[in-house]
């Protein structure tokens, strides 16, 4: 039996979320791929905008996984807020330490 019967890739919301997550994975892989960060000397260069964007993309991806795959969008308010507080904390801690430490 076809395991994908009754599932329309074009209409299924979970499939849309997956497509978005794969697209953002490819985008961040391209951003952090390294080639454009390597100097002639062979040393790598830390680019503020690239690094910050990679972290922000990761946070957005995690929000989509939590919201749609873990079904938190349908969960009680305390769980929605706890998850968003966690995401915000990770963003502030990682970006904050990257910028100010």
Partner 1 sequence: MSHSSITYDTDTGFTEPNPTASGSAPVRPNTRLPGQAAMWFFVLGDLWIFTCYFACYAFDRAREPMAFLQGQHTLNQDMGAFNTILLLSSSLLVAWCLKAARKQEYTQARQLLMMGGASGVCFLLIKAVEWYIKIDAGLPEISGQFFIYYFMFTGLHFLHVSLGLAILTLAYLELKKATSGNLAFVESGAVYWHMVDLLWIIIFALLYLM
Which residues of the shown chain bind partner 1 in the complex (CB under 8 A)?
1, 3, 5-7, 14-15, 17-18, 21-22, 25-26, 28-29, 31-34, 37-38, 43-46, 51, 54-55, 57-58, 61-62, 65-66, 68-71, 74-77, 79, 82-83, 86, 89-90, 93-94, 97-98, 100-101
Query: Shortest approach of partner 1 to residue 40 CB, angstroms?
Result: 14
Give the separation between CA 91 and CA 37, rounded to whole angstroms: 23
DSSP 4-26: TTT--TTT-HHHHHHHHHHHHHH
Q: Minimum distance from CB of 59 to partner 1 (Å)?
A: 8
Q: Which is nearer to partner 1, 10 or 34 (CB)?
A: 34
CB of residue 11 to partner 1, shortest distance in Å: 13
- Least separation, in Å, of the C-beta of 15 and partner 1? 7
User: Is-contact 66 72, C-beta < 8 A?
Assistant: yes
Question: Are the beta carbons of 60 and 23 closer than 8 angstroms?
Answer: no
Residue 66 CB coordination number (10 Å): 19
């Amino acid at each position: 039996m076809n395991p994908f019967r009754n599932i329309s890739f074009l209409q299924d919301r979970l499939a849309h979320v997956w497509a978005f997550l794969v697209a953002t994975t490819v985008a961040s892989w391209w951003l952090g791929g390294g080639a454009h960060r390597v100097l002639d000397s062979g040393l790598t260069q830390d680019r503020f905008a690239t690094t910050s964007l990679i972290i922000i993309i990761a946070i957005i991806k995690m929000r989509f996984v939590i919201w749609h795959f873990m079904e938190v969008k349908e969960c009680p308010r305390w769980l929605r807020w706890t998850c968003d507080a966690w995401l915000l904390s990770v963003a502030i801690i990682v970006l904050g330490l990257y910028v100010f430490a």
